Structure 1
Amino acid sequence: MAKSPLQRLAMEKAQAFKTHDQERRAQASRALAEAKIADYVERTLADAPPLSTQQIHRLSSLLRSGGAR
């Protein structure tokens, strides 16, 4: 059975954490986090009414800041 992109990235992260390569671990963690966020945003927007320009700018700012307030 084919694995979903999220499953594949989770497996890659698990494999990375079996090594002592800190950069590989960091890259795998970032890739999985990005995929989870993108999946959530896509699913949420599919069910949401159209956003206003102001709402889009606010959400874009949140993403650009990395969630820092």
Structure 2
Amino acid sequence: MAKSSKAVVTFIVGAAVGVAVGYFLNSDKKDELVENLKSQADRLKEKFRKKKEQYEDAIENELA
């Protein structure tokens, strides 16, 4: 794909995402959406924290 077609596709996808976010933030479900996103972010943070601890333990065991 040529550079210009990639740029056009990227622009269209970005615009679509922007429209979707704008729609949801202006809808009645805004608070529900924000709470769901916060909940998902918290779950991801916890997953990453656990993985970090696993890797730290594995490295510590290798060095010991």
Name the TM-score, length of structure 2 as normaliser. 0.46
- Compare CA radii of gyration and give the structure with the larger one: 2
Give the number of the structure whose residues are more often helix, by fraction. Answer: 2
